[in-house]
Amino acid sequence: MDAAYIITYEEDGVYLEIFPESPEREEFVSSDLMHHLSRKGIVNLGISAVQNLVAEGSGRAQIAVSQTEFIYGEDLSITVEPDETEVSARLLPPEPKGSVLDINTAQTKLKEAGIVNGIDDDALSEMLEKKDYGEPFVVAKATAPVDGDDGKLIFNFSTDERTGSPREIGGGRVDYRSLDLYVPVTEGQLLVTRTSATEGTAGLSVKGNPIKQRPGKETVLPRGKNVIINDAKTEMTAACAGMVDYIKNVITVSNVYTIKGDCDMSVGNIDFEGSVNVTGSVRSGHTIKATSGITVAGSVEAAKLIAGGNVEVKGGMQGSGKGHIEAGGSVTIMYIEQGSIQADGPVKVDVSIHSNVETGDSFTALGKRGAIIGGSVAAGGNIVTNYIGTLSNTKTNAEVGVMPRKRARLLVLEKETERLASDKLKLDQLDNYLAKSQGSMDNETWTKLHISGIENRRINNEDSEAVSAEIAALKYDMEHATESKIHVFETAFPGSRITIGSGQYKVNTEIGYATFKYSNGEVTYGPCEISKGDVK
């Protein structure tokens, strides 16, 4: 006898006999016995008698009153995932002479279990044919929801950074008099198209319950200057001919003010709502302010360039301690000596000599020399250079991470958030007052206050969204401040100081071809992690 137990149906009752352990006997598993008893459908089963017999390990005991034996056939064990997205079934084996399941009976069992959607008849048939008893088969899946599409902005002009290279005019030729410095637009030209978000489609669980989809998020057109927005707020067009800039979610269309020759005493200082193009140089003592970009074909002396967009100087700057460039976008300059740069976008130079540079983006010093010599360079992104310092141990500082002015800007924005919230509260109070006074106040006054409240609320909402977006961007920069790195392709010389986040490293010996990064609270370095080919 190699069985672990036997059930016999006799005249005076149903009996269970468990055999003593032996090398020939199958291993006894009590859970298998209980599963078998449950499938036998024994009437008035004495569970305590079964348990006592199992505890004794062997013996014979009556477990039920006399009855006719039920021979069970194949059956399904059905498991439904808690989220009702999937159903798996196991085919249970029959007793000898037990019936087998057909596809119709299996489908009925699924429906009796509450499965009304997504039944895979092919998978069910495969399970019944293979007879892999106990193996799970996925026999039903929910109908997945279809999320809605987010609203999108389609820019009908190039938002790429200008290269400053000569424009291509076809046939492999370039026009060296027309540089790629800005994006020209014509009056009425379509700038941005907004597509609306969609709701999507709900799904259906295997039990027929709805599965909620994610509706798409609406977007809004960027803020703009010198633009026209249609009534549906789905299109933005240029209000005038000129050039278009896209900086900090603001689209600005403006004319370009061109200075032919040098910016000197004959021209004076410039404060222009748009872009300024100088075909010569900018002489000492002069200031050029532009709400968009500034381009200088020559060089800059001890002068100031202040731009809301990008600044490009084809030559360099001899600042004499007074030259200063400030840009809301990028700065590209051949060299800077005894000057300063403050930019939100990337800064690219050949060499920085005894100058102070701060950028919220990356700083790149490559080219013929590719060096930072004296002074300091602080970048919110990475610094990439050939050299830091000199053989003569010139004191040179290189820092990456959060810029001080970004921290100051965050404080300003947080105060602005408080002001906007206070204004919103006042608008809510105005709405309540108007609701109570409608009918008692003269109609003309009530209407003026109502229209004014609607317009002010629109402005408040737009400003709140813009401030929230800028705060989120600044906080993201702060959280990832230690992710920035300093890549040196040639040498970092003694006298240089490397700062990343709160960590500092003073270079005491020459370090070649290295990447400095922040790790476990300090600045470390290893072999350079990029090549010059990686730098755009």
pLDDT of 496: 97
Q: Measured between alpha carbons, how far is 371 from 383 in angstroms, rounded to an integer? A: 11
Longest CA–CA separation in the chain, Å = 126
Query: What's the pLDDT score for residue 237?
Result: 95
pLDDT at 194: 95
pLDDT of residue 176: 42
pLDDT for 175 equals 45
Q: How far is 392 from 451, CA to CA, in rounded Å? A: 70
Q: Which of 325, 333, 331 is nearest to 362 (CA)?
A: 331
Residue 162: the pLDDT is: 63
Which tokens in the block code for residue 356?
């102070």
* Angstrom distance (rounded) from CA 179 to CA 174: 9
pLDDT-flagged residues of the chain (< 50) = 1, 175-179, 181
Burial state string for 383-415 with b = 16 or more CB within 10 A and e = fewer than 16 = bbbbbbbbeeebebbbbbbbbeebeeebeebee
Q: What is the pLDDT of residue 371?
A: 97
Q: Which helix (DSSP H) or strand (DSSP E) does residue 91 occupy? A: strand 86-92
